[in-house]
Structure 1
Amino acid sequence: MPELRRWWRFALVAPLLLFLLASFVAPVLMMLSRAVIDRDLERVWPDSAVALRQWDGEGLPPEALARTVAREIRTARQEGTLNQVANRLNYDMVGSRSLLYATADRLHAGAPANGIADLARIDPRWERPEIWAAMRHADGPLTSHYLLAALDRRLDADDRIVNVPAEQAVFTNIYLRTFKISAIVALLCIALGYPVAYLLASLPERKANPLLILILLPFWTSALVRTAAWAVFLQTNGVVNNALQAVGLIDAPLQLIYNRLGVYIAMTHVLLPFFILPLYGVMKGIPPTAMRAASSLGAPPVRAFLSVYLPQTLPGVAAGAIIVFTLALGYYVTPALVGGGADQMISASIAFYTNQSLNWGMAAALSLLLLLPLLLMIFAGRTMVRTVPA
């Protein structure tokens, strides 16, 4: 009978599990796989891809490989598929797109292509090892190009990992900015949300319920609307600056928007309920007798709180902080509306590569590198909670 009940419970949740796998897990995994799978060149230039894998990568390639590449450049131009390879190689080496299209036009016009020398007469760049190395890095089916690019690194012609030029190194700083903003927002939510959750858990239900409804109200309003409201409140002639000037605290308006301060204020307001609610649930489960017992044994209120009450709330603090931190990592609209150009987070770059440049491999690599530290942080948070004494 216990075995039958177990299978019956599994059968009840199986449709939901299948739905989640088909509509969420599978698409996410397929998207993330683009960070390490590279088949653009292999699909368009199948013979060249095989020849590139067999080449040792030293110096310039054999003449037979050059002839194969020239033949498939001509074929791809005729079939209208050259764009796929041109875009992919241009990610690795800027200028590859123009090189391929100029070469394809000359080959289509009848220019000979019996080796590297003939290709170099079309464009001298064919005698540079870098362009052939870029092809070899894109021969598929696996690639490290996108992950390295997301870390501001790349492979040179000798397959060594090197830094990209300083003017192109942007993603490391964006990642650091994203994690810094998310961590500070999580800390602000802890500082502001803990007293609120404690008050809600300590009050009688007839008083706590109206306050709880006020906390839940933001969930009924779009995050875009709330962010736009903060843009109005924090502007130079907005409500906040006018109120501060009216009471005499400031003489001139403060710059509260289109900077990091505005991002912190708006994101903390939007995410604060996500911290309060799990912490409130934990606090409601703590029996009030524990604090009374500590007081009866002579512990002062502060000592009783720090030694008895606070440790029991740490699971709720960790859960709420992880939720806030996780949600903050993916924020896009709020920094875009109330932040400046130097306050954009990694989600803006992911959106750009997904929707505008259509470089899904780069978008997947940025997403994967955002996901892995988050999983490590969640694992560390669970470990920390388990080590908290009951």
Structure 2
Amino acid sequence: MTDRTTGPDQFTGATPDNALRDADRAEAASGPMLAADGTPLKKSLNRALRRQKMRALMLIAPLLIFILVAFIAPIADMLFRSVENQIVSETLPRTVDSLEDWDHTTGDLPSEGTFRALYVDMFIAAEKKEHTRLGTRLNYEQTGVSSLFRRTGRDVDDFGELYEDQFNDLDAAWEDPMTWARILGDPDWIAEAEGAEAPGPDFVLRDGVETALPTTAEVYSAFAEFTQTEDEDNPLEETPWTLVYTALYWDLMRDGFAYSGPESALVTAAAEAAPGFETVSMQENFVESDKDWGSTAVWSTIQTYAPEYTPGYFLNSVDAQLTPDGIEARPENEQIYGILFKRTIFMSMTITISCILLGYPVAWILANLPMRTANLLMILVLLPFWTSLLVRTSAWKVMLQQQGVINDILVWIGLVDDANRLIMINNQFGTIVAMTHILLPFMILPLYSVMATIPPTYLRAAKSLGANDWTAFWRVYFPQSVPGIGAGSILVFILAIGYYITPEIVGGTTGTFISNRIAYHISSSLNWGLAAALGSILLAAVLILYWAYDRIVGIDNVKLG
């Protein structure tokens, strides 16, 4: 029963909502009603309702957590990769900061200070084996950068040997790891680290040393941290990187250099001798390692992709690119993604229409046959689900090839000449045929479930009123089956637009989908950012089509029986 005074959806029986309404009316009439424990009835009912909702939430909480962790979080993480670009700024932080004021339009290379910053960043990245990942990332934007970073990563360890040799020749104490530890390390840390089992306590920089030796303190801290975390050794027992010697030389040559800490005599002697050291330009070192460092194109690419977030992946997905001069279209011979998106949408719609044309008669027959016969035929519809997708696709590859079963039959009956066998594989035709066969059950089942609910008396009634068979079908039966067509179409189209196994096997170069390119970037090129951008665009396209379908047909009209 319903309460007509409060609306058709309000039950007049005993429900929590009705109890609350009764309590409100009673309170308004004669003051608050009390429960058995003396608390106001309304408050007691609200507390009981909250407990009921909490119990219901706890029952579904495991499912919600599973969906969040196993489904939503991975998708969100993958979509985030389409704009994420922290690898450049994290791997080359000093270089990125130094390039902020560089103008690529002048045609001049960055300053020597920028090359020094690159030396520090590249040395540390090479020690951590991170320079190859950065090279791979930038190689997506400019071909050849990957090999440039690999080659330089092998050579960068030699850039500072000249300074290391001169410091060691000046005084053998510079070869002792304890000398560096006393100059740069905190005395309490040294006391704890001496004799401690490797890697020892975490390195602590001496107070004030970063003022006198800023660059040396920074790179020695990086050395100590790497030694303890990666090599699991004690910095007191390891000779510093050549980078540390080079950084010390740069600090000693600063204007107004002054030092008064431990080993001051040794440092002062080095400062007095430093102006006479043989020097080398870091720019010359890099260009000697690879001449591409003398090209502004490499530096422009680093500067362009320095921000932590970039639209570059999405631009590549629509056959454009982010350049130092702005957004530009890719050369015509490199524009492939627009073609793939159009082909994917067109072929998915073609497959969906093919499934409707083939599945509708089958579903109609199943819905109008006796139950016993219909159940036997339904087994044939479900039979493909018991066979591997790979096996079914491979079978079509055998049947459709030029020396396959279908061509042999056509030649045998004389419809096709043996010298002019049909090409039905490795093209769009092969993909459409194979995928229509694979997705056909997903169209038949929704159609059948809806048609089975249409009373056959409707058609008899229409005929008794003078309608012929076609009119009775078109005006009476077909409109009632449209919800099944809608459900099957959405199901088939969404499955088709994301397929990649079947197009990969039978599609060749002209029958592949955008999903094949996404799979390639995920598993082969490892360009996950571009794969995420392509997937995001594909997801947006599906949502737009879904919205359009809802506006035209109405998603409420979609039924599964």
TM-score computed with the length of structure 2 as normaliser: 0.63
Greater RCO (Cα-Cα under 8 Å, separation 6 or more): 1
Matched letter for residue 109 of structure 1 = D
Mapping of 1:55-70 within 5 angstroms?
A: 59=106, 63=111, 64-70=113-119
Q: Structure 2: which amino acid aligns with 1:276?
A: I
CA distances 1:133-173 after superposition (whole Å, capped 9, x unpaired): 32133223211111111111101221x21111223222221
Which of the numbers 443, 448, 470 marks the counterpart of 1:275? Answer: 443
Whole-Å separation in 2 of the counterparts to 1:35 and 1:208? 49
Q: Measured at CA, do residues 157 and 127 of structure 1 come closer, stay the same or move farther in structure 2, by a change above 3 Å?
A: farther
Aligned residue among 19, 32, 42 for 2:89: 42
Distance 2:538 2:306 in 1: 26
Q: Which has the larger radius of gyration?
A: 2
Greater shift, 214-223 or 22-31, is seen at 22-31
AA at the equivalent of 1:144: P
What is the identity, as a one-letter code, of the residue corresponding to 1:22?
V
For structure 1, which runs of at least 5 residues remain unmatched after alignment?
none
The Cα shift of 1:58 comes to 5.8
Residue 20 of structure 1, aligned match among 55, 67, 71: 67
Query: 1:53·1:139 contact (CA, 8 Å) conserved in 2?
Result: no
Structure 1 pair 209/51, CA: closer, same or farther in 2 (3 Å)?
Answer: farther
Q: Is the 8 A contact 2:503 2:513 kept in 1?
A: yes
Partner Cα distance (1:31, 1:366) in 2: 11
Going from structure 1 to structure 2, the CA distance change for 1:382 and 1:57 (only over 3 Å counts) comes to farther
User: 2:306 is matched with which residue?
Assistant: 139
Partner of 2:530: 362
Is 2:493 aligned against 1:325?
yes
SS at match of 1:357: coil
Matching residue within 311, 314, 322 for 1:155 = 322
2:453 matched residue in structure 1: 285
| Alpha-carbon separation, structure 2, partners of 1:351 and 1:303 | 48
Which of 86, 90, 95 does residue 135 from structure 2 map onto?
A: 86
Secondary structure at the counterpart of residue 92 of structure 1: coil
Q: CA deviation at 1:189?
A: 0.5
Aligned partner of 1:384 in structure 2 is 552
Give me the whole-angstrom Cα distance separating, in 1, the residues matched to 2:465 and 2:283: 89
1:101-120 alignment runs, 5 A limit: 101-104=150-153, 107-110=156-159
Q: CA deviation at 1:17?
A: 2.2
C-alpha separation in 2, matches of 1:79 and 1:166: 39
- Aligned positions, number: 389
Give the CA deviation at 1:26.
1.0
1:186 maps to 2:235: no
The offset of 1:178, in angstroms, is: 1.8
Between Structure 1 and Structure 2, the one with more helix by share is 1
Higher mean C-alpha displacement, 330-339 vs 236-245: 236-245
Taking a change above 3 Å as real, the CA distance of residues 193 and 5 of structure 1, as seen in their structure-2 partners, is farther
Over the residues paired in the alignment, what is the CA RMSD in angstroms? 2.9
Deviation string, structure 1 residues 160-202 (Cα, Å, up to 9, x no partner): 2111122322222122222222111111101111111122122
Structure 1 counterpart of 2:69, one-letter code:
A
Q: How does 1:187-226 map to 2 (within 5 A)?
A: 187-226=353-392
Q: Structure 2 CA distance, aligned partners of 1:37 and 1:117?
A: 33
Identity among equivalent pairs (%): 40
Q: Which moved further from structure 2: 308-317 or 352-361? A: 308-317
Q: Is the 8 A contact 1:147 1:362 kept in 2?
A: yes
| SS of 2:373 mapped into structure 1 | helix
More displaced 10-residue stretch of structure 1: 50-59 or 333-342: 50-59
Q: Which amino acid aligns with 2:74?
A: P
Please give the secondary structure, in 2, of the residue aligned with 1:343: coil
| One-letter amino acid of the counterpart of residue 373, structure 2 | K
User: C-alpha deviations, 1:179-234, integer Å up to 9, x for none?
Assistant: 22211111110111111112212222122111111101111111111111112222
Partner Cα separation in structure 1 for residue 52 and residue 455 of structure 2: 34
Unpaired segments of 5 or more residues in structure 2? Answer: 1-14, 17-48, 161-278
**3-state secondary structure, aligned to 2:510:** helix
| Farther off after superposition, 83-92 or 49-58 | 49-58
Q: Does the 8 Å contact 1:107/1:113 carry over to 2?
A: no
Q: Are 2:363 and 2:444, in contact at CA under 8 Å, matched by a contact in 1?
A: yes
Between the aligned partners of 1:196 and 1:113, the Cα distance in structure 2 is: 81
Does the 8 Å contact 1:177/1:345 carry over to 2? yes
